[in-house]
Amino acid sequence: MSDHTKMIRAGRKHPSMQGAVNPPVHRASTLLFEQAEDLYGTAPDRHYGTQGMVVHDALREAFCQLEQASSVVLTHSGLSACTLPLLAICSAGDHILVSDNIYGPTRKFCDEHLVRFGVKTEYFNPRAGNKIAEQIKPETRAIFMESPGSLTMELTDIPAIVALAKANNIWTLVDNTWAAGWFFKPLLFGVDFSIQAATKYPCGHADVLMGTIATKSAKATKLLKSYDRASGNFVAPDDAWLILRGMRTMGTRLERQQQSSLQVANWLQEHACIAQVLHPALPSHPDHMLWKRDFTGASGLFSLVLQPVCEQKVLAFLNTLQLFGLGFSWGGFESLAIHCDPQTVRTCDSWQAQGPLIRLSIGLEDPDDLIADLEQALKQLDK
């Protein structure tokens, strides 16, 4: 079955549903047992509310089908989905390689907190491919990638790096939020941990925070589940229900947002104020062939480089937008815009731009209306 059909049917077979098309929400901490022998037995599927209820099971099943995974761990945010597997993997003295285009808060966690535990983080050029072999050390424990990077949109040759990692017994992790598990499935490429912020496209309505970590191998699943239970990680049942509801329509939304983002991106390419449009699905993108090889489509998030202008004009452009909200998230029904330069941090000299960098998240508005809004706002750059 296609992913569209899978997302409609996933998690809908539990007896407690009693004919409803969505699972019930149980708000539970204490769970009761019929026999004292069961309190510490191995037979029950769960012993306490932190292990989730029927709605959590349904959501995990949906993500397992989407990611083609054997197991999925739910976390309370996209950032926690990035940090939890690193904490499960790393020990004092370990070394990890992280793509230089990684999500900013993940970078901050590595630089300010993993380091306190004696774990060294080294960054690599996201376009380096198997050349990162030069950076691998005997103590390298993990390679963390984000492809494409959610600000600068570089893609990474994930199959090449996975092959290198497996040859050296190194864990691989991919932040796959941009593709949402829909347009790219890391586990099918041999990645150990496929991570995404369900806050974005799975939710789709800008009102729930959640992250997911999908695994396929028994070894990765065992490692992650052990740490997950010991850490006290848990997501609220109401949030799980809302994410599951969002997933029913995610494919339809993604298809619309893909089409609209390409229409907007193509228009921007012809505008005199734009130096470059960074959309992986455009033939002009430096990594377009890599995207074409590994991905089945593109989401609604892309960036653009303005012709050189002062910061005051960049801010005037953003402040003049009427249909694009100014906000840091993406993947919802509403379109968003941010100025990326203040949060673009690099250590490998792997990013250079002709002018200011702007990121757009294309929502479900009519693309002609979004283009008209951009056109009137871009006039601020000529003043």
Q: What is the pLDDT of residues 261-304, one digit of tens each?
A: 999 999 999 999 999 999 999 999 999 999 999 999 999 999 99
- Indicate if the alpha-carbon torsion angle 175, 181, 182, 185 is positive or negative: positive
Residue 49 identity (one-letter amino acid): G
Does the structure show a pLDDT above 90 at 40? no
Q: Is 357 left (phi over 0), alpha (psi -120 to 50) or beta?
A: beta
Q: Token digits for 99?
A: 């793509």
Q: What percent of the chain has pLDDT over 90?
A: 84
Q: ω into residue 159 within 30 of 0, thus cis?
A: no
Distance, in Å, from the CA atom of 192 to the CA atom of 214, rounded to the nearest integer, reads 8
The pair of three-digit structure tokens given for residue 155, joined into one six-digit string:
């893609």
User: Rounded to an integer, what distance in angstroms lies between the CA atom of residue 226 and that of residue 234?
Assistant: 14
d(CA 223, CA 217): 10
Structure tokens at 44: 């029950």
pLDDT of residue 32: 86
The strand ranges marked E within the chain are: 71-75, 95-99, 120-124, 140-146, 171-175, 193-197, 211-215, 274-278, 301-306, 325-326, 336-339, 357-361
* Dist. CA 200–CA 327, nearest whole Å: 13
Closest CA to 61 of 264, 244, 305, 331: 244
pLDDT at 241 over 90: yes
| Pick from 48, 57, 43, 46: nearest CA to 13 | 57
| pLDDT value for 44 | 55
Reported confidence tier of residue 43, pLDDT bands at 50, 70, 90: low
Rounded-to-integer distance, Cα 301 and Cα 262, Å: 10
Q: Which of left, alpha, beta for 375 (phi over 0: left; psi -120 to 50: alpha)?
A: alpha
From residue 266, alpha-carbon distances to 32, 111, 263, 273, 359 in Å are 59, 38, 5, 14, 15
Angle at 151 between CA 96 and CA 337, to 5 degrees: 150
Q: Minimum mean pLDDT among 48-57, 117-126, 133-142, 249-258: which range?
A: 48-57
CB 233 within 8 A of CB 84: yes
172 alpha-carbon distance from chain centroid:
15
pLDDT one-digit tens code per residue, 322-373: 999 999 999 999 999 999 998 888 998 768 888 999 999 999 999 999 999 9
Query: Given a cut of 80, is residue 18 above it in pLDDT?
Result: no
Residue 257 has pLDDT above 60, yes or no: yes
- pLDDT of amino acid 382: 87
Report residue 135's pLDDT band, with 50, 70 and 90 as the boundaries.
Answer: very high
pLDDT category of residue 46 using cuts at 50, 70 and 90: confident
pLDDT at 361: 98
- Residue-averaged pLDDT of the chain: 95
Six token digits for residue 302? 């892309």
Identity of the amino acid at 125: N
What is the C-alpha to C-alpha distance for residues 162 and 326, in angstroms, rounded to an integer? 36
3-class DSSP assignment, residue 363: coil
Tens of pLDDT, residue by residue over 208-236, are: 999 999 999 999 999 999 999 899 999 99
Q: What is the pLDDT of residue 116?
A: 96
Q: Is the pLDDT of residue 14 over 80?
A: no
Domains of the chain: 3-247 (3.40.640.10), 251-382 (3.90.1150.10)
